[in-house]
Structure 1
Amino acid sequence: MTVTVLPASRTRRAATDAEATAWALAARSGDARAAEHFVRALHNDVLCYVARLSGDPQGAHDLTQETFARALDSLPRFEGRASARTWLLSIARRAVVDSFRHAAARPRLADVPDWQPVVERNQPRGLPGFEERVALFDLLDALPGERREAFVLTQVVGLSYIEAAGFTGCPVGTIRSRVSRARATLERQLLEAEAPAALAA
């Protein structure tokens, strides 16, 4: 089984960025239609990003909602110096960090049934590409956090290395190195996973 993650073409992503930024600027004055277009344009990117960054696909929708709630509250201060996508992903990152802090401060409950296996058993199966997506998510979750973030930002969300560097606050070379190492790890894990099936055949 080979899983390939291809980012959107740079031209298409640049057009989406320009549109989303224009919608965000238009929504600053309370234009509800512009705000709706802004949310629709970037919703999937934010959902994917927070799911991978948090390592919690089940809580990703709540974190996405939280991200957009914060963004809409902050829209009057958005000036378009960075793309709306970059601005929004920085808000998403803070939402994920805040959720970690909140979870760490929350008291743990004992003697409660584990809901996660029940949810996982009830996930839809047999859909085209389902197993490949699950396998990819498992592989991504095994990556160290900084490498996973760099890989998701550049290979899944589709940011350029320069944008990802600006977003994370580290040099472009560091982003390239993290993505390269993440890719090498993923390729090695895929080959290891496929080896038993190849031997059996």
Structure 2
Amino acid sequence: MFKVKQHDLLGRVGQLRTRHGVVETPALLPVVNPLKQLVPPREIRGMGFEAIMTNAYLLLKNMKDEAEAKGVHEVLGFDGVVMTDSGAYQLLVYGGVDTTPEEIVEFQVKIGSDIAVILDVPTGYPAPRSVAEATVEETIKRARALFNAERGKALCVGPVQGGAWPDLVERCAREVASLPFDLHALGSPTRVMEQYL
């Protein structure tokens, strides 16, 4: 699990223990498209990255049998920590996914994900308050339904939604934090982060 090694004010350095190794934090996880690996994960490992992130939904829809038979580490050719996302990004971009919250968590466990993310409902940015409220409600509902799902040895992530509405982010964070997830993540920051760059 997570251990703080040093801290200074609100910053901290730590270690995240998984079944495929320890990740020193803070950490940057390169995102690997399992369908077109422009930079092979072995090379990413050779660059010193301890962990990568990939999309379980793309694996489910395009390589299900192979991923279940071999596991995500062998399919990607990466012996470090692999975090899998649930397809929520596809939900945000395309408006839907062809899976259920239960199926995608079960699949992530089957393929041996070290860190699995539940299928939340991204708020997006910018989003009207009514949309943000609906995504928070549905994310909380799914988190409550899924926190008891079979996890195998995977660490399970409970995402926090709410977009640009601080009170909704706070509410979602409190609700999700009250459930026994191993990790928490702030969802839907992609556009904000892209603007920052």
- Structure in which a larger fraction of residues adopt helix: 1
TM-score > 0.5, shorter chain as reference: no
Return the index of the structure with the highest Cα Rg. 1
- Structure in which a larger fraction of residues adopt strand: 2
Query: Of the two structures, which has the highest relative contact order with CA contacts closer than 8 Å and spacing of 6 or more?
Result: 1
Q: Could you state the TM-score of these two structures normalised by the residue count of structure 2?
A: 0.27
